[in-house]
């Protein structure tokens, strides 16, 4: 979710006003995903690198996270939305950590949409913590570890790999998001700033996705013969380049 600061700056407002509007965009896009039948929405709210921002802005973002949980969790639950938070929560205030755990527990059985907030998240952090947990729980099998050994330890082990990655705000990079899981994801970049991103913007992204051909390493001709491709992690040692 990129472009909050620029959205505010162009209106001569403080950056934090952009973050507030960004939260409204989160509401709108979550609702639109429910309408569209999207089952997993994952939002990159705060990266492990975002601690480098000015102290005031970091505190505001943390406070906004608390306020959002206070205001939204009951509504999420009413709408049968499951909330998950992934990332290294150890640097968050205990109060925030407790609120996250409570919200996750309350909404755990909801099945309409899984909304994941990536907070103090980094793709490299995720892979490393998974490697450490894998190595701690399993002695190296003959032939070495394989993708299927690592994947259950990734922090989004409850979700399929993403079909579509959307980045707003005009930058064209991953910025340490779900590095492992994005291997076969379709990318969509838009200049729209996050606070302006709405249901129509989401529909444009989904339309673009619908016009892509996902081959998972195969040829177009093969897909015509066998239209439903096996996913990239289909257990063949993961060699589906
Ligand atoms: C993204 O908007 C929000 C967070 C990282 C929390 P930015 O704050 O990066 O907005 P720009 O890039 O300065 O416009
Ligand atoms: Mg930015």
| pLDDT tens for each residue of 60-75 | 999 999 999 999 999 9
Work out the average pLDDT over 196-204: 98
Give the pLDDT of residue 232.
53
Chain position carrying tokens 């938070």: 85
Q: Is 2 a catalytic site residue?
A: yes
Residue 239 lies in a domain: no
Q: How high is the mean pLDDT of the chain?
A: 94
pLDDT of 28 > 90? The answer is yes
Ligand 1 atom nearest the C-alpha of 3 is: 14
Work out the average pLDDT over 166-171: 98
Residue 233 lies in a domain: no
Ligand 1 atom nearest the C-alpha of 47 is: 5
Residue 235 lies in a domain: no
Q: Which distant-in-sequence residues (6+ apart) come within 8 Å of 59 by Cβ?
A: none
Compute, in angstroms, the gap from residue 13 CA to the centroid of ligand 2: 16
Give the pLDDT of residue 240.
39
Give the pLDDT of residue 76.
98
Give the pLDDT of residue 226.
80
pLDDT of 239 > 50? The answer is no
Residue 238 lies in a domain: no
Give the pLDDT of residue 241.
39
Residue 240 lies in a domain: no
For the chain, give the DSSP string: ---HHHHHHTTT--HHHHHHHHHHHHHHHHHHHHHHT--EEEEEEEETTGGGS-HHHHHHHHHHHHHHHHHHHHHHHHTTEEEEEES-GGGS-HHHHHHHHHHHHHHTT--SEEEEEEEEE-HHHHHHHHHHHHHHHSPPPTT---HHHHGGGSTTTTSPPPSEEEE-TT--S-TTSSTTTTTT-EEEE--S-GGG--HHHHHHHHHHHHT----TT--HHHHHHS-SPPPTTSTTTT---
Residue 234 lies in a domain: no
CB 61 within 8 A of CB 91: no
Q: Is 88 a catalytic site residue?
A: no
Tell me the CATH number at 191.
3.40.1180.10
User: Per the structure, how many domains does the chain have?
Assistant: 1
Residue 57 lies in a domain: yes
Work out the average pLDDT over 1-15: 98
Compute, in angstroms, the gap from residue 8 CA to the centroid of ligand 2: 12
69 lines ligand 1 (CB under 6 A): no
CB 104 within 8 A of CB 112: no
Of the listed ranges 85-99, 144-158, 179-193, 221-235, the one predicted with least confidence? 221-235
Residue 230 lies in a domain: no
Query: Cα–Cα distance between 67 and 73 in angstroms, integer?
Result: 10
* Containing structural domain, residue 40: 4-225
Question: For the whole model, what pTM was predicted?
Answer: 0.92
pLDDT of 123 > 80? The answer is yes
Give the pLDDT of residue 214.
85
26 lines ligand 1 (CB under 6 A): no
Compute, in angstroms, the gap from residue 97 CA to the centroid of ligand 1: 23
Residue 114: pLDDT band (50, 70, 90) is very high
- The model's pLDDT over 125-152, given as tens digits with 9 standing for 90+, comes to 999 999 999 999 989 999 999 999 999 9
């Amino acid at each position: 979710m990129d472009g909050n600061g620029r959205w505010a700056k162009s209106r001569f407002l403080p950056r934090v006003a952009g973050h507030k509007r960004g939260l409204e965009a989160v509401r709108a896009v979550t609702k639109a995903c429910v309408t569209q039948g999207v089952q997993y929405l994952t939002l990159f709210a705060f990266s492990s690198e975002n601690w480098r921002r000015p102290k005031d802005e970091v505190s505001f973002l943390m406070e906004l996270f608390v306020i959002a949980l206070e205001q939204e969790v009951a509504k999420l639950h009413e709408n049968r939305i499951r909330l998950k938070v992934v990332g290294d929560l150890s640097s968050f205030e205990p109060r925030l950590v407790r609120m996250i755990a409570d919200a996750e527990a309350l909404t755990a059985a909801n099945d309409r949409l899984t909304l994941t907030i990536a907070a103090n998240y980094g793709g490299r952090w995720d892979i490393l913590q998974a490697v450490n947990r894998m190595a701690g729980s399993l002695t190296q099998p003959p032939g070495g570890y394989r993708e299927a050994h690592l994947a259950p330890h990734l922090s989004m082990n409850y979700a399929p790999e993403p079909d579509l990655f959307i980045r707003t705000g005009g930058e064209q990079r991953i910025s340490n998001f779900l590095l492992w899981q994005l291997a076969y994801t379709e990318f969509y970049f838009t200049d729209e700033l996050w606070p302006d991103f709405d249901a129509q913007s989401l529909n444009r992204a989904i339309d673009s996705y619908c016009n892509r051909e996902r081959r998972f390493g195969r040829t177009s001709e093969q897909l015509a013969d066998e239209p439903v491709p096996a996913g990239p992690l289909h257990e063949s040692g993961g060699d589906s380049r």
